[in-house]
Amino acid sequence: MRVGTDAVLLGAWCSVQDARRVLDVGTGCGVVALMVAQRCPSACVDAIDIDAPSVEEAGRNFAASPWSHRLRAAKADFNEWTGVGYDLIVCNPPFFVNGLPSPDVARARARHTVTLDYARLIAHARDLLATAGCLAIVTPASVRAQVIEHATFQSMDIARLCEVASVEGREPKRLLWELTPARAAMTRERVAIKDAHAVYTDAYRSLCQAFYLDL
């Protein structure tokens, strides 16, 4: 799996302060787990995926990193994961809610809600989080109402919401969420990736420059 903008945005944006136990759901190549480990020296990250080749790839990437002792890749289904007390759960979840899945099984699992939809993700994350923990996810803007509905049903507050536009001045295409079982007043943010001249914005550079060589 390629490293996508969504994953980089999530890994750079999610709150990692005081996070000691972290779960990365659907880790793919492991980029979000690596970013969390880079940003938070106290974080130990369990990175899980149902796709064996992805787990193998993530394991190789972890082993080659300076944080290998704090990263663990495992082949596992999140729906059956039983670890509890996580300070942070991160997930770049499947996002093709409608339409036909890819004939490539691995890609379908990664990009289509075949095995993990938003309702199950939020509900099971609620069970695994510590009292003051949070679930950080990235979604299309089109599922805003669904996420709010599922979070409300699970008695989770929206602590942070960031609207991400591809180009400054246009409608947001992606949303970054932090949901928590603790009481929280929502903080709203907005980031545009590029300006009208196709140049990366200062806000995007500030958020992501620690993870790119050419920003």
> 5-211: what fold?
Rossmann fold (3.40.50)
Residue-by-residue pLDDT tens, the chain, 215 positions: 466 899 999 999 999 998 999 999 999 999 999 999 999 999 999 999 999 999 999 999 999 999 999 999 999 999 999 989 999 999 998 654 444 444 554 444 444 345 689 999 999 999 999 999 999 999 999 999 999 999 999 999 999 999 999 999 999 999 999 999 999 999 999 999 999 999 999 999 999 999 987 77
Q: Is there a contact between 128 and 76 (Cβ–Cβ < 8 Å)?
A: no
What are the start-end ranges of the E strands in the chain?
Answer: 21-25, 44-49, 71-75, 86-91, 129-140, 157-167, 174-180, 187-194
Distance CA 53, CA 176 (A): 27
Domains in the chain: boundaries: 5-211
